Amino acid sequence: MKTKIVIIGAGYAGVLTAKKLAGKYKKNKNVNITIIDKNSYHTMLTELHEVAAGRVEDNSIKLSLKRIFAGRNVDVKLDTVESIDFEQKSVIGRRETYTYDILVMAAGSRPTFFGVDGAEEFAFKLWSYEDAVVLRDHICYSFRKASNEPDLSEKQRLLTFYIVGAGFTGTEMSGELAEYIPVLCEKYEIEQSLVKVHCVDVLPRPVPTLPEKLSKKIERRLEKMDVALLLNTGVVKIGEDFIELKKEKEVKRHESGTVIWAAGIESAQITCEASRILPSAGRNRLETDKYLRSTGDSNVFVVGDNIGYIPEGEKNPVPQLVENCEQSADTAAHNIHCTVSGDSEKMKAYKPSFHGVMVSVGGRYGVAHVGTPDKKISLPSFFAMFVKHFINIIYSIKVLGWNKVFSYLKHEFFTIRHNRSFVGGHFSNKTPSFLLVFLRIWLGAVWLFEGIKKVAEGWFSEPMLKGFFGGANTFYNNLLNGAASTADAASSATPAAEEAVTSLGTVLIDINIPRLVRVIFVSGKELAESALNDFAFKLDIPLVNWFIEKLVLPYDLMQIIMQIFIVAAEILIGLSLIGGLLTTPSAALSLVLQAMFVCTTGLYLGTFWMIFAAVALLIGSGRIFGIDYYFMPFLNRQWRKIPFVKKLYIYND
C-alpha cells in the first residue's frame, strides 16, 4: 500500500520540503508526494518590494511549480485548502479532497492588522505576487494622475505615501520607493519636492532585530533618501484617502493617496483553522516537538513560518525567516523519511543555526549582521548587498537550478535600468545589439579564411603540427635564452656584445610558476621598433606541453586528427557566425580555440581582438539579422520537451 505525503503550501518551506522528499523517494514508487497551493507558481517573497517599486520585472520573482517539480515524484495540485480533518486524515480543498498518511503544514503567513480600523480594507498589502503587482500599478497610476491634476492640494495628496511598519518589509519598501521616485518624477514631469514618503512604526527604531548601530545606519540612509521616519508612532485608523496617527496621546489625521501595510504577519488562514484543533503558540503558530511534529498529532509535521517551537537553550520561538524555512525543511524531510521507513530512532532534533540577517534600503545600499550563531559581524554596504545577492543565487540553485541563476542575474544586473543596483548600471546592457552584426560577420570571415587557408596548405592530408608548434617554440626559446645571457653580455664592454643582445628582440614578461604555468610576453624586435604584430603572448603550461609532446607529435595519425579538428572548427565557426546560427556555442568554441593557441603557439597582439570579439558575441548575437532569430525559439521549444532537460533545469528562459 502506498504512503501518501501531503504538503500544504508552496512557499519557501513547502517547496524545499517537497524537493528534499522527492530526492529521497526518487526510486520509490510506493510513496506519493503531493503539494497543494492556490497558485501555480512559487513566489520569492523577499523580493516583492523590488517589483512593487519597479526595479525588476514581475516575472523575475515567480517560479513555475511545474518546472520546479518536473521529472520528480511530486504531484502539484492547484487548489485552495479550506479545512483539514485530522481524524480522517484528509485535506479538503475547493476542487477535491486529499487523503494523507503524513501531512506537512507549510502554509506560510499573511499580514496581521492588529485590529486597526480600515487597515485591511484600505491599505495596500505586500505579501504576495499579486500584492506587488497591484501596488506597482497603483504607484504608477498615482503619478500619472497627479501629473494631470491642476489642484495642488489634491496633487500632493496623490503623491503622499505612508508605509506602516519599519521592520524588514517596511524598511526595504521605503528604500525602494524612495529610489523609484526620481525616475517617476522625470517620466511624468513632476517636481520631486511634491512627493512625500513616510515610514511609521510604534517601535523606537527600524528593524529592531539588528544591532542599534545598524538601525542608526538605516535611519540615516532613509533620511538621506528623503523618507520621513515616524517612530514611536501608532496607527489608529486608515481610510480611503487618509491615515490617523497617534504620537504619545495626540491623534492626527493626515491626507494620503497610498498607505502600504507592512506591520507584521500571522499564520495563514488554514493554519489558524488548524490551531483551533492542534496546540498552538503566538499568532496561531503550531506547537511542535523537537522533531517538528505537532504536539497534538504525530502524523503532522510543521515547517517554516508555521512552527511554534523553542529550541533547547533558547527563550523565543524560531524566527520567521527564510533560513528557518530552509533548515526546518531539511529536518522535517529527514524525519518524515525515518517515520515512513520505521527508523524513528534515527530522527534528528531541530537545532537551527542562523547566520544573521540582511536588509537592503533600495537597490544600492544595504546593511548586514552575519556570521556564526556565536559570532556575528556587520558588513559595509557593498559587501552586504553582495551577500544578499549571493544568498538569493544559492536559493535559486536549490529551487530551480542554474537556469534560474542566469535569469536572476539578467533581471538584477544585465537589464537593470536607472542604475538601481549596488554596482550601478555598469553591467546593464545599453548598446543596441544590432551594432554587433558587423563584428560577428567579420570575425566569422576571419575564421573562415584561416580554415580555408589551412586546407590549401594540406592540413587534411599530411602532418603539419610538428613544424607549426616547433617554429613557435624556437621563436620563444631564442628570445628567452638571449635574455638569460643578458647579464654576461652586459659585463662585456664591447659594442659587438651589446648588439648581439639587442638583436634578439625584447622580453617584457617572463614569470615562471614551476609545474603550473610560465607567463611569457615578448617582442620579436627592439621595443622602440616594435609594432602591434611584433608582440606575442604565451601561457606555457607543462601539462599541455606533455600532452602535445607525448600524445600528439610522435604520431602522424594523432596530428592529422587534431589538424582536422582545428580546421573543421575554424570553418564551422566562420560559417556559423556569418549566418548567425548557433552563435553562442560558436563564440564559445572560438574562445576555446584561442585559449588552445595561447597555450601552444602563443598569440600576437594583433589577433587578440578575436578573443574580445568572441566574448562580445557570446549572448544572443545571432538573433539580430541572423538565423538564430528563427532557430533558437524553435530549438528551445523542442529542448524543453525532453524529460531529463526538465528534471535538470537545463532549459533556457
Q: What is the CATH number of the domain that holds 47?
A: 3.50.50.100
170-203, pLDDT tens digit by residue? Answer: 999 999 999 999 999 999 999 999 999 999 999 9
pLDDT at position 497 is: 37
What is the signed CA dihedral for 470, 474, 477, 482, rounded to 10 degrees? 180
pLDDT-based confidence at residue 262 (cuts at 50, 70, 90): very high
416: confidence class by pLDDT, cuts 50, 70, 90: very high
Q: Is the pLDDT of residue 297 over 60?
A: yes
Tell whether 538 is covered by a domain: yes
Q: Residue 301: in which H helix or E strand, if any?
A: strand 297-302
pLDDT reading at 327 higher than 80? yes
- What pTM, to 2 d.p., does this model score? 0.85
Residue given cell 652586459 in the structure block = 490
pLDDT digits (tens, 9 = 90+) for 328-348: 999 999 999 999 999 989 999
End-of-domain residue from the set 245, 263, 281: 263
Q: Which domain holds residue 577?
A: 434-623
Q: How far apart are CA 505 and CA 529, in angstroms?
A: 10
pLDDT digits (tens, 9 = 90+) for 57-95: 999 999 999 999 998 999 999 999 999 999 999 999 999
**Pair 318, 285: CB distance under 8 Å:** no
Q: Does 141 share its domain with 257?
A: yes
pLDDT of residue 498: 41
Asked if 440 and 576 sit in the same domain, the reply is: yes
| pLDDT, position 493 | 39
| Residue at 254 is within a domain | yes
H or E element, residue 385: helix 381-409
Please give the grid coordinates belonging to residue 300.
503532522
- Look at residue 637 in the predicted model and tell me its pLDDT: 87
Residue 484 has pLDDT above 90, yes or no: no
Asked if 37 and 160 sit in the same domain, the reply is no
Q: Do residues 233 and 288 both lie within one domain? A: no
Of the residues 233, 263, 293, the one at which a domain ends: 263
Residue 299 pLDDT > 70 = yes
Boundary residue ending a domain (328, 353, 378): 353
Beta bridge partners of 160: 196
487 pLDDT above the threshold of 60: no
**Residue 343 covered by a domain:** yes
- Number of domains within the chain: 3
Per-residue pLDDT, 53: 97
In three-state secondary structure terms, 561 is helix
Residues 529 and 593 in one domain: yes
- Cα 596 to chain centroid, rounded: 32
Place of cell 528604500: 175
**423: closest CA among 389, 377, 392?**
389
Domain co-membership, 125 together with 41: no
Task: With respect to residue 409, please indicate whether it lies within any of the assigned structural domains.
Answer: no
Q: Which three-class secondary structure state does DSSP give residue 332?
A: helix
Helix (H), strand (E) at residue 177: helix 168-188
Q: CA Rg, the chain, in Å? A: 32
Q: Based on the domain organization, do 601 and 481 belong to the same domain?
A: yes
488 and 614: one domain?
yes
69: in domain? yes
Determine phi and psi for 54, rounding to 5 degrees: 70, 20
